[in-house]
Chains A and B, each alone.
Chain A
Amino acid sequence: MAKQRGYLVLENEAVFGGILLDNTYQTRGEVVFNTSMVGYDQVISDPSYAGQIVVMTFPLIGNYGINANNLESDHPCLRALITREICPGADYGHYQQEITLEEYLHYHHIPCLTGVDTRALTKMIRTRGTMGGILVDSLDNKEELLQAARLALQPPPQGYVMQVSRKAVTRLGAGGKRLVLIDFGVKKSIVTALLKQGCEIFIVPASVSAREILAFNPDGVVLSNGPGDPLDCPYAIQTIAELIGRMPIFGICLGHQLLTLALGGKTYKMPFGHRGGNHPVKDMQTGRVFITSQNHGYAVDEKSLCIPGLKLSFINLNDRSVEGIIHKELALMSVQFHPEAAPGPEDTAYLFDDFMAMIA
């Protein structure tokens, strides 16, 4: 694989140099950082990163290679990966390693800029907010590059969700409760967690209508995670609004934001989001704190939650942002974080039990 000098050009004119692995694919996207120290494989295969260039703050990435079982989707959806160092992998010997990270990225045509001062880059994103950026192998035509970087935040006309959601229904599991899982870019681990509950699951495309869902006659609906701005999915908000009150609903991440919007709440774009495996959230009922896995750039506006019967269930202990809501009467629950973890702590896996109790 070709290795040569490469650059990340940000819309604020900052340039970060490094080594570009696989320079065939010039790419641009929203530059975000993730603070997870393990689980790079799950991060890069999480469809929620569609349209984004992901900076790993931990410097040593790729240490245990790639093993298909641990991946969160069949195709990585991120635009590019930026690291301080990438493990060459061959002969590094984790027993589960099938291919190296570099081989995986190459196979999926995902460029990687490595050897970057990722801490400096992270600090810039933290202070300026997430920005558009472009990965190139030459700094000629700087003006053009800046123009391109600025446009990198533009979502595709249909939104990212439509890019990553499946096109047909998948049926998994048998017996027990029947769930419909709306795929806005679902991570495999959510499916696994639901299957572990002994459910029959119909995974449906994001564009599904309420009528189609009701036709499955499900005991409950799960709204998955997914990429981008929830306001880019008016169709989904519409569908969810029609389902509210008719059956229990459990929203995760983007699903949580969509549920809130369907209830009449509001969302906003965060300066640089939450991405990592160490976010403390507080259970508002018990005062207990859990460490959670997170990946989101938008959040629910707490002031918009004056909806009868709706309660704030979790807040983020660091910035006090909304991390979860619950509506007992309408049998709704949703969380901004990832109870399915992967990567990250499994502290809140019990929420799947809670949801099963809700539909019981």
Chain B
Amino acid sequence: MPLKNGLRKVMVIGSGPIIIGQAAEFDYAGTQACRALKEEGIEVVLINSNPATIMTDTSIADHVYIEPITIETVSKILDKEKPDGIIATLGGQVGLNMALSLDKEGILEKTGVPLLGTPLEAIARAEDRELFKKTMSEINQPVPESDIVTSVEAALKFANEIGYPVIVRPAYTLGGTGGGNAHNEKELSNIAAKGIKNSPIGQVLVERSVAGYKEIEFEVMRDDNDNCITVCSMENVDPVGIHTGDSIVVAPAQTLTDEEYQMLRAASIKIIRTLKIAGGCNVQFALDPFSKKYYVIEVNPRVSRSSALASKATGYPIAKVTTKIAIGYTLDEIPNAVTGKTTACFEPAIDYVVLKVPRWPFDKFVFGDRKLGTQMKATGEVMAIDRSFEAAFLKSIRCLELGITGMRPPDMIDISDESLRERLKEADDERIFMVAEAFSRGMSINEVWENTHIDKYFLNKIKNILDFAGRLANEELDPVLLREAKKIGFSDIEIAQLKGVQEVHIHRLRTDKGVIPTYKQVDTCAAEFDAETPYFYSCYEEENEAWHDIDEKKVLVIGSGPIRIGQGVEFDYCSVHCVWALREAGVKAIIVNNNPETVSTDFDTSDRLYFEPLVFEDVLNIIDEEKPDGVIVQFGGQTAINLAQPLNNVGVRIIGTSNDSIDRAEDRDRFDSLVEELGIPRPPGKSVFSADEAVKAAETIGYPVLVRPSYVLGGRAMEIIYNQDELKQYIATAVKVNREHPVLVDKYLLGTEIEVDAVCDEKEVLIPGIMQHIERAGVHSGDSMAVFPAHNLSQAIKDKVVLYTTKLALALRVKGLINIQFVEFKNELYVLEVNPRSSRTIPFISKITGVPMVKLATEIMLGRSLQEMGYSGGLQPEPGFYAVKVPVFSFNKLEQVDINLGPEMKSTGEVMGIDKSLKTAMYKGLISAGMDIPQKGTIVATIADKDKQEAIPILKAFYDMGFKLIATAGTAAALRAAGIEVEHVNKINEGTPHIVDLIREGKADFIVNTLTHGRDQFSDGFVIRRAAVELKVPCLTSLDTLKAMQEVIEEGNKIADMQVRSLQEYVSCVK
């Protein structure tokens, strides 16, 4: 069937902010969807609250609504835009849940706008546990015995009937939030209580655990003519028991016979036919490793993280095809973009191995619970492609950017055999390295299998790597062995370490002997058809397929790797825009990246895509292969910036701001002399090389001080220190300090933080706008609410911001982007940090000002000036609206992580609220961030002494608005003294019923808790904050956020009264 009749305008529902379980894959899917619609001449209306995404660009959709994804806003947009259909299956769980709500609230019926693609009934049948079970049993598809319960008692009763262990899965949650394995009654009571709370419908599934089974996934497609294909099979290296998002995954499945494979393939097709899915769907199975017994574990009736992976692994664009199916096409009518000759109705055949490895945030959350289970904890993932499992695996380890070069992380050596066995069994983020360590200690395949139940096939593969490392260490490194080492995936640096030489030595040896990589194409068909896809991976084979046109001008853009805290989808936005700008300028754009979730790794984004680790060796190999005219490091976050120097050292031409300028901004001493030269104040500070020096420095500067290691990423290990004892403790425990690793001690200025992104062509500096943070300096800029335009700065300060920004950009000879953070303290402006590269706020500022920052920066790197492009230096006029960026956290996925805000970044994503009124914009932002803003109710407060004076008036304002206050003794006394009526509650050590009991009973509408000093991980405050997270009660740790919330509530905003306007409408009023 061709395009459905009368389809002229379609609304796409996005997935909102990046959180654990819902990451950049939905930007990739949504962007593909919007483009697939526009291709058909359909007008696209988009709602997504996440400004960091590519899909919310005005070039991607015709009407972009960066608004809260709620029933109210969606119905308003439906009323206003009157689309002919809605696509909800590309916006992750958020999109699906919205579709269900629109139906439940009668909006679909009222407006008559149809849901396109997979019908509601199918969504409900896949998502509702009871219906799902019933449907599966009707078609004889086995599901593990299970029961849906809404109380802990019922859960216990059922578990007693079927026996332990059992798995608890809450209904309608992301990444299995709040679920887990329970081995006994006690564990089950805890997990079931949490799960029930987390499920929006208060339902959990208790089911027989099939832990230890093989976990196999199929990505399946179906069209309305009932044609079905499977795009890809995937096998989790970790057996059932660990969330697939936290599992190492290999594609295609490796340990199944054809019989097993076809049994599961046929089952997945039977399932999607029965459900009547239209488009992409993910089916997960548990397969007994010792028989043909299997269970269907899960069906996701939408595109997902796995479908993004399957798309990148095979070259088959699942989201695009899903969209085409939704608007009426059948699979055989959709062309296969890869071959250009065949259609989308086929099953990809691949001739390589794909590995996906999760990226966990435990480098940031060192105190977080690292145990892996049914609740996903990874923030992102990497993918690697090669011709063998071993090589793909070693590549994926390099992609993680954890400083690990092979299978032998240095800190495993000290672990006792006993604790090694324990950690093999328990499964945490480092288990795979434990497996390697076990082999290097001579443990047998069988013994490791008994402890992990990882299939022996995979264990053998890992052991091969270690055995080969042994050969490398002991045998002479002749060209034959070297080639074999490269073929099996060893990095130069790993070989160098095993041979006790420098990396450069191996590199030289390798190039002398002609041991250089070949690049092979990803073509969906194992070379059966001639393909045009410019999508490559490296391997050490005979034939190189990366053909070249030597006359072309080309530039390599270095991407940003996996999504992690501090480096999110924003940098993919920047990389993609850079690629687009290059192509527009007639320059061939080559990109290297390894994140399968992103738009940048879509094969039709750039002229050529290399799916490779972002480490020196692999990037240099590409440069040697391509010989680009320049390399751009400005847009790939710290990942790309870190490569600037090593690449520069070997003579690679970095275009844009020079490596020397980058160093001048990052090197403490050089930066100090720069600002001094320019007469720009900065908080006094010093680099110190020992604990004694630190103490001395802090005394000279005066407490509080901000301390941090020299080169930082996302505020790692930064802390505000109030006295000498704390400082000594910090130096002793939190950092390594020596001649090579200085620690910076700066005066902490408790003022207003201001942030600027600018673009400079060495002559002029264009500043699209000034952002002001709600939270004062000391809260990481990524975790602060930011207001554009700055809402209460004096003209004098604004002038200084412009002056300093201009001076710094020109002095650093910035060619491209620069991001500067300032603090206003007692009417003086200080510069805190200068980053001569793209920043987290680039998508935000580009969208709301309409200034295409990345495009301008890219053109400047190619030699054009701002003037030539019709821009000039200075600050752009302020628009007649406000945009507020609000951070979003994933604390409910991460146990034992403290939620207090500080100089270390903790948020995983962001949303934006936009409105003519500042308060409304803030309100929209908070709503989008998932904050439940009560209009009245009970506030539970426990405020540190240092903050009491400041907190009282804010709490009084809440009291005056009719809120009831409950507080612990000290806070209560202070409130009473201010004449505020307050109820007392016990601290935890004062006995029950105490503050946490109160929270558990659901008596708190929100909690205010400010941090006492010191780093006691398990203080009262910590327990309170965790209880709040787990029970989904908003908890504020910054008085600035509290004040903002108070003002928003005071304004009396109601979501029902709010206006919705598209970004296009807002930005056109700027001009």
Give chain A's interface residues, CB within 8 Å of chain B.
Answer: 16-17, 33, 35-39, 41-42, 57-60, 63-64, 67, 70, 84-85, 87, 91-96, 117-120, 122-123, 126-127, 276-280, 282, 287-289, 291, 317-318, 341-347
Contact = CB atoms under 8 A, between A and B. Distances in A.
A346 B526 contact: no
B457 A278 contact: no
A318 B229 contact: no
Top 8 A-B residue pairs of the complex, sorted by shortest distance between their CB atoms: A39-B258, A120-B543, A93-B456, A343-B258, A117-B542, A57-B526, A278-B347, A35-B349
B346 A344 contact: no
Contacts of B259: 70
Contacts of A33: 527-528
Interface stretch (B260-268, B321-329, B809-817): B260-268
* Range of interface residues on B (Cβ < 8 Å): 35 or more
A283 B259 CA distance: 25
A282 B223 CA distance: 14
B350 interface: yes
Interface in B330-372: 330-332, 341-343, 345-353
B1018 interface: no
A59 B460 contact: no
Interface in B511-548: 520, 525-530, 541-543
B257 interface: yes
Contacts of A42: 258
Interface in B983-1039: none
Given A95-B290, A126-B527, A70 B258 contact: yes
Interface stretch (B248-256, B301-309, B499-507): B248-256
Contacts of A279: 346
Interface in B866-908: none
B349 A59 contact: no
Contacts of B353: 59-60
5 contacts: A37-B252, A67-B257, A92-B460, A95-B290, A280-B343
Interface in B650-668: none
Nearest to B389: A60
Contact of A288 (B226, B255, B525): B226
Contact of A85 (B261, B388, B445, B530): B388
B752 to A, nearest CB: 59
B225 A288 contact: yes
A289 B346 CA distance: 9
Interface string B206-230: 0000000000000000000111111
Contacts of B343: 280, 317-318
B349 A94 contact: no
B8 to A, nearest CB: 27
Contacts of A87: 457
Given A63-B457, A280-B343, A94 B257 contact: yes
Given A64-B255, A345-B262, 13 more contacts: A35-B349, A35-B351, A35-B528, A37-B252, A60-B388, A63-B254, A118-B351, A123-B527, A126-B529, A291-B229, A317-B342, A317-B343, A317-B345
Contacts of A57: 349, 351, 526-528
Interface of B: 225-230, 252-259, 261-262, 265-266, 269, 289-291, 330-332, 341-343, 345-353, 387-389, 445, 449, 455-457, 460, 520, 525-530, 541-543
A84 B520 CA distance: 14
Nearest to B527: A122
Nearest to B445: A91
A143 B460 CA distance: 43
A317 B350 contact: no
Contacts of B527: 33, 57, 119, 122-123, 126
A41 B258 CA distance: 9
A122 B351 contact: yes
B290 A289 contact: no
Contacts of B230: 291
A85 B352 CA distance: 11
Contact of B528 (A39, A58, A70, A122): A122
A220 to B, nearest CB: 26
Contacts of B388: 59-60, 84-85
A119 B541 contact: yes
A85 B1009 CA distance: 60
Contact of B258 (A60, A317, A344): A344
A190 B525 CA distance: 27
Interface-central residue, A119, A280, A287, by most chain B CB under 10 Å: A119
Contact of B331 (A59, A119, A289, A343): A289
A87 B341 CA distance: 35
A38 B258 contact: yes
Contacts of B342: 317-318
B153 to A, nearest CB: 40
A291 B346 CA distance: 7
User: Most A CB atoms within 10 A — which of B225, B256, B262?
Assistant: B262
A341 B346 CA distance: 16
A345 to B, nearest CB: 6
B324 to A, nearest CB: 15
B520 A119 contact: yes
A96 B345 contact: no
B349 A345 contact: no
B349 A37 contact: yes
B255 A63 contact: yes
Nearest to A56: B351
B332 A289 contact: yes
A96 B460 contact: no
B331 A64 contact: no
A350 B528 CA distance: 28
A279 B269 CA distance: 16
Contact of A96 (B225, B257, B351): B257
Contacts of B520: 119
A317 B332 contact: yes
A35 B541 contact: no
A281 to B, nearest CB: 10
A280 B332 contact: yes
Contacts of B331: 289
A14 to B, nearest CB: 11
Contacts of B265: 345
Nearest to A275: B528
A190 to B, nearest CB: 16
A309 B456 CA distance: 56
A276 B529 CA distance: 13
